[in-house]
Structure 1
Amino acid sequence: MPLQTLAREMFADAIIGAAGFNKFTQANTYLGVGDGTTAHNPSQTDLQGTNKLRKQCDSGYPTRSANVVTWSATFGVNDANFAWQEAGVFNAASGGQMLCRKVQSFGTKTSGTVWILTYQLTLSVS
């Protein structure tokens, strides 16, 4: 999952105990979807689409298993009924910081359906 430039700064703040960002806890984390198809760029700070929506992380998330962090959010029957072309992880309902953004076709959500977006971030070293 491509990380944003701000993610690098968040990790650095976390390492030294600085308070430069809101943590990505259940209360603060929002998964966003949009219809933007602009290629990923690490300097982006929000989804790129015209249609976009953030939903708060579901209860019980995030989880961590070894080096994999998982978030999940439920988009109800009236939420985000458009073509999902991008997704991201945020630490606020609006504004805030975007940890990462993925551009791909997830399909088109229509009214009357409930979709659950699960986002996994694998951290590794080389």
Structure 2
Amino acid sequence: MEFNMSVRDTVILTGKLSISLNGELVRETKNLVVTAGKTWIAARMKDTSTVMTHMGVGTGTTAAVIANTDLETVTGARLALSVSGGTPVANVITYAATFPAGAHTAAITEAGIFTAVTSGTMLARTVFTVVNKGASDSMTISWDVTIS
């Protein structure tokens, strides 16, 4: 049997999130899909039915690393997220969550996607330049995860 070493197919996971404050885009940044997130994706191909359900934010400033399993400094409870259109489009899934006025008031610098409101598996984490969310501000994070 002949094995063709010249064929190479690489799967790459990338993510980008957009942060809006009171309807105005204030930040766009890339994310890191962490080891636990990659393991979760592989498990989905076998038999894991758990889905990503929540997004969290925090005030941590340490760079995201592949071994992260949670945010560095959590601010408020994780919120339920939605999937744009209900399903992935082509090779992109878009998650979104809105952090309403009166909640998560802080100098937000990190965000993550999770399978549960507490603990659970983290798919991805990002650290970004501060977004000051005041008590009267509503903040929406739209997060694209692309498999290419």
Structure 1 runs of 4+ with >2 Å offset: 50-53, 58-63
Q: Which has the larger radius of gyration?
A: 2
In the comparison of the two structures, how many residue pairs are matched?
A: 118
Q: Equivalent residue for 2:33?
A: 3
Amino acid paired to 2:116: A
Question: Which ranges of structure 2 fall in alignment gaps of 5 or more residues?
Answer: 1-30
Identity of matched residues, %: 31
In structure 1, C-alpha distance between the alignment counterparts of 2:91 and 2:83, rounded to whole Å: 21
Q: Equivalent residue for 1:33?
A: 57
Question: Which ranges of structure 1 fall in alignment gaps of 5 or more residues?
Answer: none
Residues 38 and 62 (structure 1 numbering): CA distance in 2 closer, same or farther, change over 3 Å? farther
Residues 58 and 8 (structure 1 numbering): CA distance in 2 closer, same or farther, change over 3 Å? closer
| 1:42 alignment partner, one of 62, 66, 74 | 66
Q: CA deviation at 1:32?
A: 0.8
Q: Please report the RMSD computed on the Cα atoms of aligned residues, expressed in angstroms.
A: 1.9
Q: CA deviation at 1:18?
A: 2.4
With the length of structure 1 as denominator, give the TM-score of the two structures: 0.83
C-alpha distance after superposition, 1:26-70 (max 9, x if no partner): xxx111110000111111110001535411114756542211110
With the length of structure 2 as denominator, give the TM-score of the two structures: 0.72
